[in-house]
Amino acid sequence: MLTTPPDETYTTPEAANQLEVSDRQVRRYLSSGRLKGTRVRGHWTTTALDIWRFKGIADEMLESWRRYCIEYQERQAAKKES
């Protein structure tokens, strides 16, 4: 299972792929504030969490991330005990 951390950073083309829209549309969302992001030297970035919020799935994805972290810690503890 592929798990993305909420602070994973995406470029405009990567965000476009996640949202299944064009790069141009992502830039419009970012410029208007509809999608949160950061602009550095003329280039936008956004995070997985911001994309999840935009898609309305943030609560579900954060819970999935929390469960993944707990399971990972449990696996690491089990390895140390072996």
* Domains, the chain, with CATH or none: 9-81 (1.10.1660)
Mean pLDDT in residue range 48-76: 95
> Exposure of 46 by Cβ count < 10 A (0-12 exposed, 13-18 middle, 19+ buried)?
buried
**Over the chain, what is the mean pLDDT?**
94
> What's the pTM value of the predicted model, to 2 decimals?
0.88
At residue 2, the pLDDT reads: 63
